[in-house]
Amino acid sequence: MSQYIKGNTGDWEIVIGLEVHAQITTQSKLFSGASTTFGAEPNQNVAFVDAGMPGMLPVINEKAIEQAVRTGLALGAQINLRSVFDRKNYFYPDLPQGYQISQFLDPIVGKGEILLDMPDGSVKKVGVTRIHIEQDAGKSLHEYNPKFSYIDLNRAGVALMEVVSEPDMRSADEAAAYLKKMRSIVRYIGSCDGDMDKGSMRCDANVSVRKVGGPLGTRCEIKNVNSVRFLHKAIEFEAMRQVEIIESGGVIDQETRLFDSTKGETRTMRSKEDAHDYRYFPDPDLLPLEITQEYVDAIKASLPELPDERKNRYISKFGLSPYDAGVIVGEKEYAAYYEELTKNADPKLAANWMTSELFGRLNKIGADIENSPISAAAFAELLALIGNDTISGKIAKDVLDKMFESGKSAKAIVEEEGLQQVTDMGAIEKIIDEVIAANQNKVAEYKSGKDKLFGFFVGQTLKASGGKANPAAVNDLLKAKLS
């Protein structure tokens, strides 16, 4: 499938670089002891530093540093043992200091990379340029009173990491896969909760278009996109808009745009500031941050198994397809459930049943895996019954439905309803004899060379057994009887 945009003047390629802002999971803010708890009453979690009171001194929260280093290591990135905090100066009502403390020339994390698991099973590599640490701003609330704006500073000063990518993505699909993968990684290592609904993770999408293989075009930056679906839509819209402008003889202005999710379009927010507009300079209240290699090594040693490592293990050890493995490791809750399953069930059977039968049913009742009515242990019990031939796959699907309805265990349902697979050869033979007796003319046809009818006899036998006869045994016995 070509991802190019077909224009009147030929094919256009989309070029995308993402800046992901991720709220760092810490109990307190980046430079103050105020709490980071979400959903508190407005202005409850505000220390004097966060309110920009004169003469207050920021004190760095070591946990935030550790989390940024963890994230850098999880992206295989260069960790800079010396980094510098700078003031990025701008005026905004939700920024009481009049500047944001950020990192500019010397960020804590340098170049890394991230692997995208594409739906066709392929893997695409995208460069990470840097990760820097910075303060979040507060929130302006305009909806309470038509004449006033209110300011809530609970979020002001909360630690953020900004992960900047290289302009390596070439389609909305790749950008969506990037955001999903980033979310998955930070959630595995616990450096960000990845909750896009609460704004813990949001991204700016830089989009340009160019003739295939040509020089980079001028980019527009779409600010604060807060879902994977919106990111996809915003990029598709924006790329089309740019192609239309260029093809009708216009030029792209480098600007900051907003995505309107109800209209599905992007529109101008402001023309783009350049770095010199912010008058970056090292914050005189903060010394350069120096960490040791031993500190970094200790963090590295404490990292859990990451999504890519886990995916490779599932492929090489369990024989899962890259696609299934990618789906299961994609959400840490899926992976945790699957890990539980594989303690007691065949890994391949478990992957198939989890991604098709379980996900399908969860989807139907609108439940996530965390609140699945079927626990991993209960599901593993069902899988074990398939694995040891107590029930067929077909019967197992009915049992799973009943487990969803009644909350009963697989074993209880199978026993109560007598669903055990019939492997007793005598019993199966009896059924086969009846099927043969009732279909004498078909038997004659079969014997005169109509081989296809074998399937008919298998079907009739299984049906007569209520789906309970072991199919392999039915096959063997039928072959013997009909020859």
| Burial grade of 420 (CB within 10 A; 0-12, 13-18, 19 or more) | middle
CA distance 116 to 401: 35
Helix (H) / strand (E) element for 332: namely helix 332-344
182 binds, among ligand ADP, Mg ion, none (CB under 5 to 8 A by kind): none
- Rounded to the nearest 10 degrees, how much is the dihedral formed by the CA atoms of 192, 331, 260, 154? -20
The 10 Å Cβ neighbour count of residue 248 is 8
The 10 Å Cβ neighbour count of residue 221 is 17
Would you say 180 or 313 has its CB closer to ligand ADP? 180
Backbone angles phi, psi at 34, to 5 degrees: -65, 150
Using the rule CB under 6 A, which residue among 208, 242, 392, 470 binds ligand ADP?
A: 208
Would you say 84 or 391 has its CB closer to ligand ADP? 84
CA distance 422 to 470: 6
206 binds ligand ADP (CB under 6 A): yes
Q: Which among 17-25, 148-156, 184-192, 348-356 is the span making contact with Mg ion, rule CB under 5 A? A: 17-25
Tally: H helices and E strands in the chain = 16, 16
164 binds, among ligand ADP, Mg ion, none (CB under 5 to 8 A by kind): ligand ADP
306 binds ligand ADP (CB under 6 A): no
Alpha helices in 165-272 (DSSP H): 172-189, 228-247
The 10 Å Cβ neighbour count of residue 251 is 10
Using the rule CB under 6 A, which residue among 51, 161, 164, 435 binds ligand ADP?
A: 164
389 binds, among ligand ADP, Mg ion, none (CB under 5 to 8 A by kind): none
CA–chain centroid gap for 152, Å, is 30
How big is the site for ligand ADP, counted in residues (CB under 6 A)?
Answer: 16
Binding to Mg ion in span 265-294, by CB under 5 A: none
Would you say 87 or 332 has its CB closer to ligand ADP? 87
Using the rule CB under 6 A, which residue among 5, 12, 15, 155 binds ligand ADP?
A: 15
Sheet with 99-102: strands ordered across: 99-102, 86-89, 281-282
287 binds, among ligand ADP, Mg ion, none (CB under 5 to 8 A by kind): none
Rg, C-alpha atoms of the chain: 30
165 binds ligand ADP (CB under 6 A): yes
Binding mask 92-131 for Mg ion (x = CB under 5 A): ----------------------------------------
CA distance 69 to 131: 9
Task: At 181, list the tokens.
Answer: 């993968």
Q: Which among 143-151, 216-224, 227-235, 417-425 is the span making contact with ligand ADP, rule CB under 6 A? A: 216-224
Binding mask 38-77 for ligand ADP (x = CB under 6 A): ----------------------------------------
Would you say 173 or 324 has its CB closer to ligand ADP? 173
Q: Which stretches of the chain bind Mg ion, using CB under 5 A?
A: 19
Q: Which stretches of the chain bind ligand ADP, using CB under 6 A?
A: 15-19, 164-167, 206-208, 216-217, 219, 221
